[in-house]
């Protein structure tokens, strides 16, 4: 019984990030596209907007960069000074250099990274449960022993 | 398979674009944060936690083992 419960706990904790990520992603996409456009089968042709990003930013490069440097909303990276942007450009160029940018993206960020991180997460959850069992075990045993 | 791959790619790109708009950031901002901070940091953090837990587990098992003979005597 105890083993079944710990297996169920392991499964629940292991699946939690996947479910949470999917819920968050679906909510955001349905907020932006509408419920009927959550799953697209064709690439959307979008126009450029002054105040917000669209598929045009993905296809032809984002022109909203200046918004970060100045008000009203400052983004996380200052484009003029932050070296991370150079690294970002290098990462995108590396993905393009594979021949299929889309395929490389899918393999790396939808397969390799989630599987690797998921495996690590399962290890962490398993070890957490084992630590808990070890901590609770001797105490409960000694408590039952001390009972008259 | 290609259709599924495309659908996943469009879904993820839609998520990036809309989350950028939700946060008030640009597409490049959200991409940079995810690619350069979140993606590398998450496995590193989890790896560190796993290592720390391993040490804790070893310590707990060792301390438990040291109590075993006493238990048997009782």
> Are B25 and A103 within 8 A, CB to CB?
no
Average pLDDT over all residues of chain A? 80
Q: Return the pLDDT at A1.
A: 65
**DSSP-assigned states of every residue in chain A:** -HHHHHHHHHHHHHHHHHHHHHHHHHHHHHHHH-GGGSS-SS-------SSS--HHHHHH----THHHHSSS---SS-TTT-THHHHHHHHHHHHHHTS-HHHHHHHIIIIIHHHHHHHHHHHHHHHHHHHHHHHHHHHHHHHHHH--
Contact B43 A75 (CB under 8 A): no
pLDDT of the residue at A82: 58
The complex's ipTM works out to 0.83
Answer yes or no: is pLDDT of A144 > 90.
Answer: no
The Cα of A40 is separated from the nearest Cα of chain B by a number of Å equal to 6
Distance (Å, whole) CA A99 – CA A104: 8
pLDDT at A135: 85
Q: How does pLDDT run across B8-27, given as a tens digit for each residue?
A: 999 999 999 999 999 888 88
- What whole-number distance in Å separates Cα of residue B51 and Cα of residue B56? 9
Contact flag B10-A43 (C-beta cutoff 8 Å): yes
d(CA A82, CA A78) in angstroms, rounded, equals: 5
Q: Looking at chain A, which residue has its C-alpha nearest residue B4?
A: A41
pLDDT band (50, 70, 90) for residue B64:
confident
A77: closest chain B residue by CA: B29
> B15, A28: Cβ pair inside 8 Å?
yes
Cβ A84–B32 below 8 Å, yes or no?
Answer: yes
Distance CA B13, CA B28 (A): 12
What is the mean predicted confidence (pLDDT) over A108-136? 93
How do the domains of chain A map onto residue ranges? 101-131
3-state secondary structure of B1: coil
Among A29, A41, A130, beta carbon nearest to B14: A29
pLDDT 10s digits, B23-58: 888 888 888 888 888 999 999 999 999 999 999 999
Neighbouring C-beta atoms of residue A145, cutoff 10 Å: 9
- Provide the pLDDT for residue B53: 96
pLDDT band at A72 (very low <50, low <70, confident <90, very high): very low
Q: Which of residues 4-23 of A touch B (CB under 8 A)?
A: none
Q: Which chain A residues have a beta carbon less than 8 Å from that of B55?
A: none
**A95 touches B at CB < 8 Å:** no
Query: Which bin fits B57, alpha (ψ -120 to 50), beta or left (φ > 0)?
Result: alpha
Report yes or no on whether pTM surpasses 0.90. Answer: no
Asked if the Cβ–Cβ distance from B11 to A40 is below 8 Å, we say: yes
Mean pLDDT of A37-61: 85
* Cα–Cα distance for residue pair B52/A134, rounded to 1 Å: 16
Which has more confidence, A139 or B40?
A: B40
């Amino acid at each position: 019984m105890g083993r079944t419960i710990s297996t169920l706990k392991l499964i629940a904790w292991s699946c939690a990030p996947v479910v949470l990520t999917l819920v968050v992603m679906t909510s955001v996409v349905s907020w932006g596209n509408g419920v009927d456009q959550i799953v697209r089968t064709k690439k959307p042709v979008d126009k450029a907007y002054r105040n917000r990003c669209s598929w045009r930013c993905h296809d032809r490069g984002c022109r909203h960069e200046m918004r970060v440097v100045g008000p009203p909303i400052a983004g996380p990276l200052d484009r003029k000074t932050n070296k991370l942007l150079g690294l970002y450009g290098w990462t995108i160029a590396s993905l393009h250099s594979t021949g299929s940018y889309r395929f490389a993206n899918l393999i790396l960020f939808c397969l390799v990274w989630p599987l690797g991180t998921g495996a690590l997460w399962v290890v962490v959850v398993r070890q957490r449960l084992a630590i808990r069992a070890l901590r609770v075990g001797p105490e409960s045993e000694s408590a039952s022993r001390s009972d008259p | 398979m290609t259709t599924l791959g495309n659908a996943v790619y469009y879904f993820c790109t839609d998520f990036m674009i809309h989350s950028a708009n939700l946060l008030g950031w640009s597409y490049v901002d959200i991409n940079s944060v995810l690619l350069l901070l979140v993606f590398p940091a998450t496995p590193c953090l989890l790896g560190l936690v796993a290592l720390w837990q391993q040490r804790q587990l070893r310590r707990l098992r060792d301390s438990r083992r040291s109590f075993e003979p006493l238990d048997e005597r009782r």
